[in-house]
């Protein structure tokens, strides 16, 4: 089974600060079609998850460009530039190359 290791488990930030979250996979996430099915989700308090980024670096519908994703093979990063209050919650990386696995989550809180 694919294991997704997400760090850090929590982040305390000030509004306007930039942050990065790391996600490492135990296996390459490149599928046989050449695409990499690594996604980033945000679960705001009391809400369902919402997809921010799909296939490493593609912004989801309506997602502001303060969010960006990079990486390849087994090593991925989500960057949030200029954090806003609405960005607070738990961030998850997820892979759908090999069935479906989630990282443990990174809780983003206000400093």
Partner 1 sequence: EVQLVESGGGLVQPGRSLKLSCAASGFTFSNYYMAWVRQAPTKGLEWVASITNSGGSTYYRDSVKGRFTISRDNAKSTLYLQMDSLRSEDTATYYCTSRGGAYWGQGTLVTVSS
The residue ranges that bind partner 1 (CB under 8 A) are 37, 39, 41, 43, 48-51, 54, 60, 90, 92, 94, 96, 99-105
Separation in Å, CA 7 to CA 20, 78, 105:
9, 11, 8
- Shortest CB 102 distance to partner 1, Å: 4
**HEC letters along the chain:** CCCEEEECCEEEECCCCCEEEEEEECCCCECCCCCECEEEEEECCCCCCEEEEECCCEECCCCCCCEEEEEECCEEEEEECCCCHHHCEEEEEEECCCCCEECCCEEEEEC
- Shortest CB 26 distance to partner 1, Å: 15
Measured from the CB atom, the residue of 71 and 103 that comes closer to partner 1 is 103
Measured from the CB atom, the residue of 35 and 79 that comes closer to partner 1 is 35
- Shortest CB 70 distance to partner 1, Å: 18
Measured from the CB atom, the residue of 20 and 43 that comes closer to partner 1 is 43
Measured from the CB atom, the residue of 16 and 31 that comes closer to partner 1 is 31
- Shortest CB 87 distance to partner 1, Å: 18
């Amino acid at each position: 089974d694919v294991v997704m290791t997400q760090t850090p488990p929590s982040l305390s930030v000030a509004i306007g600060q930039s942050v990065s979250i790391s996600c490492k996979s135990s296996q390459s996430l490149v599928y046989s079609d050449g695409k990499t099915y690594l996604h980033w989700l945000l679960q705001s308090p009391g809400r369902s998850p919402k997809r921010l980024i799909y296939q490493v670096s593609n912004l989801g519908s309506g997602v502001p460009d303060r969010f960006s994703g990079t990486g390849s093979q087994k090593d991925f990063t989500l960057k949030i530039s200029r954090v806003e209050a609405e960005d607070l919650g738990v961030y998850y990386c997820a892979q759908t190359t090999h069935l479906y696995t989630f990282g443990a989550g990174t809780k983003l809180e206000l400093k």
